[in-house]
Structure 1
């Protein structure tokens, strides 16, 4: 079993397979953007290490990522990825595409496949080709998704997404679905809780809202 005192999730080996557990993160592509969300509870096994942590990282003005796994591994990857994404923009005088950012992180994970980073990531953003969402496993596998969830709360979250997702939904309707998916997981998964954070990425930029602010956002 892999875990740490400050992890945002943990992995355990089950019949030779690595299984992610301990958090809930959600990603969804809508008509005019990408929405990423996560709960806030940091756990170590059944111990709640911290009730309120950030599990969504801003990699650039148009790209963000969610993390599930050992927090030290995730922070290391996010630091490397963020620096290289900013370096790309400096060298080429244009922002990196979301797919290229996901491939960059994939290469970091792939290079450590003998001693893999214990993480599962969602990378989402909006570039010149529109909104995109990618899921990455600990070995660097990249898949593009319209919606997905990771962590121990993912079975509950994905059921909400599968039932409610429709192509062409606007951001406002999509935010409500992401919020319901995370809330459903927090009610049923003891490793998820503490409220949630949501990031909305559109052509106009990035906006972060919390579960406490969502009621105000919905009324706008």
Structure 2
């Protein structure tokens, strides 16, 4: 997926989860759009940040959103973050012969606390404290590795996510044009914001 270009990150702390991604859509050596949304809210407690083909990102976010909603209405209880991540893994695996070309950082909170899961295009599901995906991932993860602490505040985690994507966009020509951020506090409402690249 090296030609598809993107940088997406997720960071988990005690108080919640931060997901972020830049807004450039490129293919080959061309910039196709500077205003693509790669961060998706799933219900009121979960979200995902993606790198890869935009149509595939949209497809899996819509299917997952509908599945979570259906489960919670029919079962009358909240879906666990792990269950949602595993459903997404099954969805990706079931298309392995014609894969949905997306790397996904999925996160949220439930009764067990905050969670971050990383999924590849064929459905592997791995729980992490933080992760990065896309062509800018090596640059972003280097900054996160250096500065991450388990006792960080949610605000510090948000700033670290923003800084890591800024570092990636400064060196990865396939990433850029601003940052979408989704902050999901444990027990609170998710908040989205746009951060311009200065």
When normalised by structure 1's length, the TM-score is 0.86
Deviation digits for residues 138-161 of structure 1, max 9, x if unmatched? 110000010110001111100100
1:76 aligns with 2:59: yes
Deviation at 1:79, TM superposition (A): 1.4
Summarize the alignment of residues 1-220 of structure 1 with structure 2, pairs less than 5 Å apart.
11=1, 21-202=4-185, 203-212=187-196
Deviation at 1:29, TM superposition (A): 0.4
- Which has the bigger relative contact order, CA under 8 A and spacing at least 6? 2
Q: Which runs of 5+ in 1 are unaligned?
A: 1-10, 13-19, 215-220
When normalised by structure 2's length, the TM-score is 0.95
CA contact (8 A) 2:4 2:27 kept: no
Which range moved further: 152-161 or 110-119? Answer: 110-119
- 2: CA distance between counterparts of 1:209 and 1:90? 28
- 1: CA distance between counterparts of 2:85 and 2:37? 20
- 2: CA distance between counterparts of 1:45 and 1:72? 16
Deviation at 1:173, TM superposition (A): 1.1
Deviation at 1:188, TM superposition (A): 0.5
Deviation at 1:21, TM superposition (A): 4.6
Deviation digits for residues 27-52 of structure 1, max 9, x if unmatched? 00012000000000011111000011
Structure 2 equivalent of residue 218 of structure 1 = none
Aligned Cα root-mean-square deviation (Å): 1.4
